[in-house]
Amino acid sequence: MLGVLLLFFSTVSISTSSIINFIPFPLSGQRINTEKITNGENFPASRPAVPIQKDKEEFTGSSTAVSAIVVDSNTKTILYNKNKGEVRPLASISKLMSAMVLLDQPINWASTTVIADSDYDGSDHNVDVGEKFTLEDLWHVALIGSSNTAIRALVRAAGFTTDDFAKKMNEKAKDLRLYSARFVEPTGLSDQNMANVYDTAKLLIDALKFDKIYKTVQIGEYYAHPLNGSKPKTIWSTNWLLTNWVPNDFKVQDIAGKTGYITDSGYNFAVDLTNDKKHTITVVVLGTASNEQRFSEARDLADWTFSHYLWPDDIGYKNLTE
């Protein structure tokens, strides 16, 4: 029987063309116009991911500042500005740049130094010549109490002359694309430490990316411990929104900023503020008329912005984009 079957199959031939005609291969679909796809015509319209003003209301609050700005901290979108291109003295806001440059160095923050005559600015009530501090203590005194003496001591302890450190500050400004910013020394006492209000906002945003800076400028009250002294020294923050000496509705953990003042600058203030929806804005006022007004004007600008802008995750935002 096996032989009969083999004989049968050997006499049968199968046409490959019949196989091809028999198997139902899928038909190709219609060609897609790839030119339209690459031009984006078939994609849905993109929506902006930036805050949008929901009305036509303008800010009508007090504004003694020579220049001021409100920026969305996430996208750096300008939400309000007054004379944003004018370059002005930064005063102690300069210490934000000094702090970033110091953090670029291999500093042992547990090491110590003695305040030298060359460090002392002549009017500092936070530290005195001859006192010995850890560099960690001086870091806090410099950023919380805005001590010029402390920042000078840190620069010296890090091994820099004033000129060499200013060169590092300017290199850092260039790297961060702060094109209007320039520095000649680390404290802000010189009126030649300058920037416009928009670059000042970007300076604060970049500085607060450093956790050590962010956590320090959120401290309202600090105790510095001179190692050769009998008792600690109380250091109060110069940021009166943080201490609530200028009343405001922001939580302490949602306030992070730096002040500055010399005669040529007027009263300066740069601050990040976050509302209860976790939206963060950066407010900068340069050249206000008084110490208290820099805080009240920054607060009022923030309140106005949060009241008149919607963010992408806010109810009603979608309606503004259609």
Closest CA to 301 of 272, 262, 266, 264: 272
d(CA 107, CA 131): 20
Number of domains in the chain: 1
* Position 290 in a domain: yes
Tell me if 236 is assigned to some domain.
Answer: yes
Q: Is residue 36 part of a domain?
A: no
pTM: 0.85
- Is 38 domain-assigned? no
Q: In this structure, is residue 261 part of a structural domain?
A: yes
CATH code for the domain of 62: 3.40.710.10
Q: From first to last of its 322 residues, what are the pLDDT tens digits of the chain?
A: 444 444 444 444 444 444 334 344 344 444 333 333 333 334 344 555 899 999 999 999 999 999 999 999 999 999 999 999 999 999 999 999 999 999 999 999 999 999 999 999 988 999 999 999 999 999 999 999 999 999 999 999 999 999 999 999 999 999 999 999 999 999 999 999 999 999 999 999 999 999 999 999 999 999 999 999 889 999 999 999 999 999 999 999 999 999 999 999 999 999 999 999 999 999 999 999 999 999 999 999 999 999 999 999 999 999 998 7
Residue 186 lies in a domain: yes
In this structure, is residue 64 part of a structural domain? yes
Domain that holds residue 264: 55-320
Instruction: Let me know if residue 100 belongs to a domain.
Output: yes
Nearest to 208 by CA among 176, 186, 237: 176
Token reading at 8:
């049968």
317, two tokens = 């935002």
Q: Break the chain down into helix, strand, coil percent, rounded to 5.
A: 35, 20, 45
Report residue 301 as tokens. Answer: 């600008």
Dihedral sign, Cα of residue 119, residue 120, residue 126, residue 130: positive
